[in-house]
Structure 1
Amino acid sequence: MDSIPANRQYWNQISRGYQHEHDPQIGAAPRLWGMYSIPDAHLHALGDVKGKRVLELGCGAGQWSRSLAAEGATVVGLDLSEAQLAAAARAMGAARYPLVQGAAELLPFAAGSFDLVFCDHGGLSWAPPHLAVPQAARVLRRGGRLVFNTASPWFEVCYDEDARRVTTTLHHDYFGLNTIAEDQGAASYQLTYGDWIKTLRGAGLIIDDLIEPRPDPGTPNGYNETDPPDWARHWPAEMLWITHKP
């Protein structure tokens, strides 16, 4: 949990610039997944949320949370960064929902509090999975679902740190995936496919599906440079896990 202070400081510092750059894309329409803004209507990951109690891990400026609140969900948005939460509060609009400052690896909620816990490159990308996944499972009710999207291990091992882009060359050890050093001392996290399965099963979750979102031809990556530009048409850039608590 040593990454919590550095990650909080990092997101406080970049929040304004991040939202200025990305909100026009991710805030433009509801339920857009990942780096390529693929609609949930195409992937069928979340389903109907009306009347359900929903927790978003790493809500940022609340683009997902306010959309689900408008659909009739009882949403709680959690984020480590007070700057991100302030952005969510400013953008909240008519569909209001509570905002909580906290870390995905130390959730401040009672067991069985939620029907759905989810994130899109949020808490399960910026917290150690071996700590955060059991926390998510703990706060789910029986039959509740954990749905989350992260970068694919393929994307991580092909990332060229010097060029700051993803290429067709392997640059990192697949079996060494764990903590990924980010700017300003922050850290994100990644596991091999096998370790993700062990972590999810170890938390008592059933894996229902693993979607590897494939963007349509010509869809731009809103966050990273890739070489070639259609990299994600050939290899999985992201993985969307769908699980439930039996």
Structure 2
Amino acid sequence: MTTVPAEDPDLPPVQAAERALGTVGSERRPASSAESVTANRAWWDADADDYHTEHGEFLGVADFVWCPERLREADACLLGEVAGRDVLEVGCGSAPCARWLAGTGARVVGLDLSAGMLRHAAAANEATGIDVPLVRANAERLPFASGSFDVACSAFGAVPFVADLNGLFQEVARVLRPGGSWVFAVTHPMRWIFPDDPGPSGLRVTGSYFDRRPYVEVDARGRATYVEHHRTLGDFVRALTGAGLRLLDLVEPTWPEELTEQWGQWSPLRGALFPGTAIFRCRLS
């Protein structure tokens, strides 16, 4: 088990959330559902303000952007017609996607684990006058009756942060009505073989695609302060089919030639060579 010092000069500056939570390094090791929930709830609560300071302009307050490649639902129409339909956004953060959907005539509920992120969502609801209902809950145990929604979606929310992927997909399938859609975006699984770096160092393979151990940031006592889980493309497909969901399409957005900005590890350099995002479009059988 390898620990990477948080103060390593080759790493980005320590974030406020890392200081608040006492993060001293990172490991690749197993992490249970309980550990993942506890760590990620605390992380996103601590990071919510900084996250929106850095990314708020990109995300907007009522815009549905699927990924750093700036693929918008208004152009891609991956959810199909949503007007008059019941939609659940899983891992909504500050809920700009949910408010955009509400503006198209959908009946939307936004769900997130973090009170800090939902605080930003509530403030944006008030600022825009688009009052999307907000629910704080663990996505592995959705607090809704079976068959409550026509569509469920997630743009980089919840899916990478839960330990029980099968359980999450089974819960999504449970709350969908027959024929309902589940569309979600995650970091493309092949990105896990490269360092998390937007520059030339991020083009060098340093790990195995088949190493499924989660990335875990830890404090001085070894307690998790942030957890992100890695799955292969096959893992996602098996979990989906096991939950009774049928994969209709796998979208790998290309990097737009005119986009020169970076978002974390996403950059024009890397985007020109390999995909950064995978969007799974599924339907309940």
> Is TM-score (shorter-chain normalized) higher than 0.5?
yes
> Given residue 235 of structure 1, which amino acid in structure 2 is its aligned partner?
F
Deviation at 1:211, TM superposition (A): 0.3
Select the residue among 138, 161, 186 that pairs with 2:174: 138
Distance 1:220 1:115 in 2: 37
Checking the alignment, whether the CA contact within 8 Å between 2:255 and 2:268 is kept in structure 1 is no
Checking the alignment, whether the CA contact within 8 Å between 2:62 and 2:99 is kept in structure 1 is no
Corresponding residue for 2:51? 18
After superposition, the C-alpha distances for 1:154-174 in whole angstroms (9 at most, x for unaligned) are 2121124xx686712212211
After superposition, the C-alpha distances for 1:37-93 in whole angstroms (9 at most, x for unaligned) are 222244331222111101111111111011111111111000101111111000012
> Given residue 192 of structure 2, which amino acid in structure 1 is its aligned partner?
E
> Given residue 55 of structure 2, which amino acid in structure 1 is its aligned partner?
H
Indicate how the Cα distance of structure 1 residues 197 and 178 shifts in structure 2: closer, same or farther if over 3 A, else same: farther
Corresponding residue for 1:240? 279
- Structure 1 gap segments, 5+ residues each: none
Higher mean C-alpha deviation, range 188-197 or range 25-34: 25-34
Distance 1:167 1:225 in 2: 8
Distance 1:164 1:232 in 2: 9
Corresponding residue for 2:24? none
Checking the alignment, whether the CA contact within 8 Å between 1:54 and 1:75 is kept in structure 2 is yes
Select the residue among 83, 95, 106 that pairs with 1:62: 95
Q: Does 1:88 align with 2:121?
A: yes
Corresponding residue for 1:155? 191
Kindly name which structure, 1 or 2, has the bigger radius of gyration based on alpha carbons.
Answer: 2
After superposition, the C-alpha distances for 1:161-203 in whole angstroms (9 at most, x for unaligned) are xx68671221221111252224762111221111111110001
Q: How does 1:1-246 map to 2 (within 5 A)?
A: 1-2=33-34, 3-27=36-60, 30-92=63-125, 93-128=128-163, 129-160=165-196, 167-182=202-217, 185-220=225-260, 222-225=262-265, 229-246=268-285
> Given residue 257 of structure 2, which amino acid in structure 1 is its aligned partner?
P
Count residues with an aligned counterpart.
Answer: 243
- Structure 2 gap segments, 5+ residues each: 1-32, 219-223
**C-alpha RMSD of matched pairs (Å):** 1.9
The secondary structure found in structure 2 opposite 1:230 is helix
Identity of aligned residues (%): 33
Deviation at 1:14, TM superposition (A): 0.2
